[in-house]
Amino acid sequence: MFKTRLLSGILLVIIALITLIMGGNLLFAVLLAISLIGMTELYRVFSMEKKAPGIIGYIFAVGYYALVYFEPILPGEKLNWFMLLFMAYLVCQMAVLVFAYPKYNTQQIMAAFFGLFYVAVMLSYIYQTRILPGGVYTVWLVFVCSWGCDTCAYCVGMLIGKHKMAPILSPKKSIEGGIGGILGAALIGVLYGLAINYWGDAGVNVLSYALIGAAGGAISQVGDLAASAIKRYHNIKDYGTLIPGHGGILDRFDSVIFTAPIIFYLAVLF
């Protein structure tokens, strides 16, 4: 099991390296595929991955990504295009509830609407961060914060963790581990900033990378626990089996989903 998990983890790192370095259409296509798979995993929890609410969700996810891709050339106020898409999506989902009544319940319709934002919209910020000025460096903070925080939180929790963070939801997570994860992510952000300044002549503000690391690390833990809460509530162990030893897309990217938008907006702010 450990060997399988290790090999899968190495393959994921290789794919991440290639796609993030190349960026552009490759990163866009990979994120779109990951988003659709992640939505399928979430919709499967509500038994609608192959039914009308789920299919409509996939269609509008593709539509959303199309707007993100063509955003630079959209006429008029760009925000209006996205609001139009989301309102049309809500209308279509409610139309399914009404005209197929009582085939689908309100929980399924709300989950379908939620899934587009939780998976597709949130993950798209990896691409949006990559295309920012200096995004070739900034985008790595998404993974530095989420996976770095997770590693640091685990190590600190194992060493000195005593007070439970969420005793019912995740008994092994401690407050000490959570704080250690945040501080660890901030430290990794500093080291990463120093490294790209030295070897890549990036000219980034190291202090801002520390703040982004800390904020990203904090929010990544919320993402991890949120994904766990959904699984616990519906009594499932993993969202899928796509990644051997890790589960599904949502199992591996649960913290990244929350971190990506935060990194984007903090990068724009700083």
For the chain, domain boundaries: 22-131, 135-270
Dump pLDDT digits (tens) for 43-55.
999 999 999 999 9
**pLDDT the model gives residue 15:** 84
Asked if residue 231 has pLDDT above 80, the reply is: yes
Asked if residue 245 has pLDDT above 80, the reply is: no
**pLDDT the model gives residue 40:** 96
Dump pLDDT digits (tens) for 149-185.
888 888 888 888 788 888 888 888 888 888 999 999 9
Asked if residue 75 has pLDDT above 70, the reply is: yes
**pLDDT the model gives residue 6:** 64
Dump pLDDT digits (tens) for 105-144.
999 999 999 999 999 999 999 999 999 998 899 999 998 8
pTM: 0.93
Least confident window among 26-40, 111-125, 185-199:
185-199
**pLDDT the model gives residue 150:** 84
Asked if residue 2 has pLDDT above 60, the reply is: no
Phi, psi dihedrals of residue 174, rounded to the nearest 5°: -120, 160
**pLDDT the model gives residue 204:** 85
Q: How confident is the model at residue 1 (pLDDT cuts 50, 70, 90)?
A: low
Mean pLDDT of 29-36: 96
